[in-house]
Chains A and B, each alone.
Chain A
Amino acid sequence: MTSIRRWLLAALLTALAVAGLTAASATYFSARDEVDDLLDEELRQVALSLRDHAVLDLRRLESVSANPAQRVLVQIWDPAFDRPYVSRLVGDSPMPRTDEGYATVIHDSRSWRVFTLFTGRQLIQVAQPTALRTELAARTASRLLLPVLIVLPFLGLAGWWIVGRGLAPLGRIAGAVKERSPTALTPVPTTALPVEIRPLADALNDLLARLDHSFTLQRRFAADAAHELRTPLTALNLQVQLAERAASDDERARAFEKLRQGLRRATRLVQQLLTMARLDPDAAASPPTVIDTSTLVASVIEDLRPLAAERHINVTPRVGSGDCRVTGSEDALRILLNNLVDNAIRYTPAGGRVEAAIERAGDDVVVTVEDNGPGIPEEERERVFDRFYRGQTPGVSGTGLGLAIVSQVVEMHRGSVALGATAAGSLQVTVRLPAQAAGEPSSASVR
């Protein structure tokens, strides 16, 4: 697992170490230049002073400068001797002759800086190991690096603590989130939060609010569903008991018929509940397709013919001209049309008629379902879209979900649904769905 604290700390310390090293090496190189200049000058001065006064008597000089601690090595070539004067013998042989001026030579497998001066008779060489210069420069650089190295561990500890302090609000949010449960999705406190963490907390609170809303809806739906299931269950329970205690075969047959009706009704309710749950916008539906609603309505009416025939209701489709294609979910739209027509059939007295019209009006496809039943009083029209609300029409075994499902599907397709009345006061349901999007090639209206 990555740790911001560890990462920050490692990055900080590394940066510090790199900075220290860079500074040290820069110091090293500049010190090296200075030392070069300084020591080169020293070599020259030694050579010049040798020329000025010690030149001639090599034997006297020998005794004076044969000090091994001397920083410089002096070699003087004199035509009078076959061997050069050497202040201190390094290796087996003297350093070879060099050209006048500064030079760097390898002698006795060491690197030397040499200043050579020709007096006209003698060749004076003043040399010094280059290692000395490196050593001096390195010493200067290390004086800079050392405090950094000493401070580093303390900085590490301090950094650990500081980063920890800085990240503490994250820990507080985590703690607050941990306390939340699906039943108590209150927002996490955002007071005294640093600006960097505020967006996280806000996003979290937004999510919590949406979750809470969703949970509330789900809970209410489950409670409503359970409540609604009680009615058919009560009926079934009573019907079973009546069947059990039936005194005659006739009575028993009658009781069983009622029991079957009760089962059909409970089944229908469960199916509607499932439909409702499946239409939940959060449950990813199949990708939208282009659907011709005029053929869909015909097929729905075909499916409902047996029910209509049973109730002696005449169902007529009326398909207007124009492109009645919409983009959406075929299953959902089928459920929508089915519920509208089915409702009309159920709430229309036997022998009545139901008309389902579909037409293109501007940018909308308009579905109108009319019956010649008793209609819905105006004050009730809003409430019938509520889940489980059942109208005042007695004797119809509805589930109270039909129109709630309709409004859910309409919402899914960004349409609208309105309840109205026909001239005779019967119910007229109008659903408007946006026709297949204008941006699509088949129906593009270019200006």
Chain B
Amino acid sequence: MRILLVEDDSMIGDSVADGLKAEGYAVDWVRDGKEAEAAVGASPYSLVVLDLGLPRRDGIEVLRSIRERRIGVPVLVMTARDTVRDRIKGLDAGADDYLVKPFDLDELTARVRALIRRAAGRAEPVIERGQLTLNPATREVTWRGEPVSLSAREYALVAALAERAGLVLSRAQLEEKLYGWNETVASNAVEVHIHNLRKKLGEGVIHNVRGMGYTLVAE
């Protein structure tokens, strides 16, 4: 799950990025409106966390430009503009949710999960794929009824694959979902995580589709 964070304040940006990373998301952080517009077009994001008071281009304009370009990524607006009119304006410009500063990290992550879940077309908070269940809120994973302990990256990887049944994701796509821009990725990182997952969940769960990538087969 890769999230674009748009926030000009270094302290808030730093903290939100840390908080989201701790939840297993890959975070790209940009600090102004123009960079945000460029970034949204450049890589597929599961979510955009957008501050409104931005240098160079206002957040609302960024939001409009995202929607004008028909990019359907969920956008969570995070701002100090708290009047009802501001919120209506934000939602009408294409925001999916509105979070007023100051907010709780827990609330932010809960809303992030909800938005990602809804974008994936699910209403129920727990993902079930055969005998595999994932709870994005607690990041608890069970396999055949038994809890499995996964690292943050392993969880992110299995969650990316479980997001839609039968989805095949290439190694590059997985890397994109797992790592932010400024993180160095070892060339075999995805393979290493898949290897570890297979050890924990059994060989057959993650299937390698030759030439295409990986898919989750969890009967």
Q: Is A242 an interface residue (CB 8 A)?
A: yes
Q: Can you add 16 more A-B contacts, CB < 8 Å, to A232-B11, A234-B101, A392-B32?
A: A230-B80, A231-B9, A231-B12, A231-B101, A233-B102, A235-B15, A238-B16, A242-B15, A242-B18, A242-B19, A242-B105, A258-B11, A262-B11, A390-B55, A392-B56, A394-B31
- Which residues of chain A are within 8 angstroms of B105 by Cβ–Cβ distance? 237-238, 241-242
Q: Is B14 at the interface (CB under 8 A from chain A)? A: yes
**Interface residue A261 (Cβ < 8 Å from any Cβ of B):** yes
- Complex: how many Å from CA A245 to CA B105? 11
How many A-B residue pairs have C-beta atoms within 8 angstroms? Tell me.
63
Complex CA gap A262/B18 in Å reads 15
- Residue numbers in B under 8 Å from A245 (CB-CB): 22
Contact A239 B8 (CB under 8 A): no
Give complex CA distance A367, B58 in Å. Answer: 35
- Interface size of B in residues (CB-CB distance below 8 Å): 22
> Which residues of chain A are near B32, meaning CB under 8 Å?
392, 394
| A230 CB contacts on chain B under 8 angstroms | 80, 101-102
B219 at interface (Cβ–Cβ under 8 A)? no
In this assembly, does A265 line the interface, its C-beta being within 8 Å of a C-beta of chain B? Answer: yes
Interface footprint category on A: 20 to 34
- Residues in A neighbouring B9, C-beta threshold 8 A: 231, 235, 397
A227 in the interface (beta carbon within 8 A): yes
From A232, A234, A391, A395, contact of B103 by CB (8 A): A234
Say yes or no: B56 contacts A238, CB within 8 Å. no
CB-nearest residue of chain A to B81: A227
22 A-B residue pairs with Cβ-Cβ distance under 8 Å, sorted by A, are A230-B80, A231-B101, A232-B11, A234-B12, A234-B80, A234-B103, A236-B102, A237-B102, A237-B103, A238-B15, A238-B16, A239-B15, A241-B104, A242-B22, A242-B105, A262-B11, A392-B56, A394-B31, A395-B10, A397-B9, A397-B10, A397-B11
1/0 contact string of B19-38 vs chain A (CB within 8 Å): 10010000000011000000
Interface flag for B106 (CB, 8 Å): yes
- Interface 1/0 per residue, A381-410 and B, CB below 8 Å: 000000000111011010000000000000
A-B CB proximity, top 5 nearest: A238-B15, A235-B11, A234-B102, A234-B101, A392-B55
Given A234-B103, A394-B32, CB of A241 within 8 Å of CB of B19: yes
Are A239's CB and B11's CB within 8 A? yes
Which residue numbers of B lie inside 8 Å of A, CB to CB? 8-12, 14-16, 18-19, 22, 31-32, 55-56, 80, 101-106
Give the residues in chain B near A237, CB-CB below 8 Å: 102-105
- CB within 8 A of A395: which of B12, B31, B101? B31
Contact B106 A241 (CB under 8 A): yes
Residue contact B14 to A258, C-beta cutoff 8 Å? yes
Give me the interface of A with B, judged by CB distance under 8 Å.
227, 230-239, 241-242, 245, 258, 261-262, 265, 390-392, 394-395, 397
Instruction: Tell me which of B8, B22, B80 contacts A227 (CB under 8 A).
Output: B80
Q: Closest B-chain residue to A392, C-beta based?
A: B55
Chain B neighbourhood of A241, CB < 8 A:
19, 104-106
Once bound together, how far apart are the Cα atoms of A371 and B80, in whole Å? Answer: 32
Cβ-defined contact, B12 with A394, below 8 A: no
Whole-angstrom CA separation of A239 from B19 in the bound complex: 9
A235 to B51, CA, bound (A): 13
Which residues of A sit under 8 angstroms from B11, Cβ to Cβ?
A: 232, 235, 239, 258, 261-262, 265, 397
Q: How far is the CB of B70 from chain A (nearest CB, A)?
A: 29
- In the bound complex, how far is the Cα of B60 from the Cα of A373, in angstroms? 30
**A283, B205: Cα distance in complex, Å:** 73
Distance in angstroms from A208 CB to nearest chain B CB is: 28
Output the residue of B12, B19, B104 with the most chain A CB within 10 A. Answer: B12
Which residue on B lies nearest to A231, using beta carbons?
A: B9
Tell me which of B10, B22, B103 contacts A394 (CB under 8 A). Answer: B10
The residue among A230, A238, A258, A397 with the most chain B CB atoms within 10 A of its own CB is A238
Cα of A245 to Cα of B19 in the assembled complex, Å = 9
State how many angstroms separate the Cβ of B179 from the closest Cβ of chain A: 20
Q: How far is the CA of A242 from the CA of B13 in the complex (A)?
A: 13
Q: Which residues from chain A contact B22 at a C-beta distance below 8 Å?
A: 242, 245
For A394, list chain B residues within 8 Å (CB).
Answer: 8, 10, 31-32, 55
With both chains docked as a complex, state the minimum distance between the C-beta of B174 and any C-beta of chain A, in angstroms: 25
Give the complex CA separation of A129 and B101 in angstroms.
Answer: 109
Distance in angstroms between the alpha carbons of A230 and B53 in the assembled complex: 13
Give B22 Cβ to nearest chain A Cβ, in Å. 7
User: A270 CB to closest chain B CB, in angstroms?
Assistant: 15
Q: How far is the CB of B59 from chain A (nearest CB, A)?
A: 14
Q: Which residues of B contact A235 (CB under 8 A)?
A: 9, 11-12, 15
Complex interface: chain B residues within 8 A of A242 (CB): 15, 18-19, 22, 105
Chain A neighbourhood of B104, CB < 8 A = 237, 241
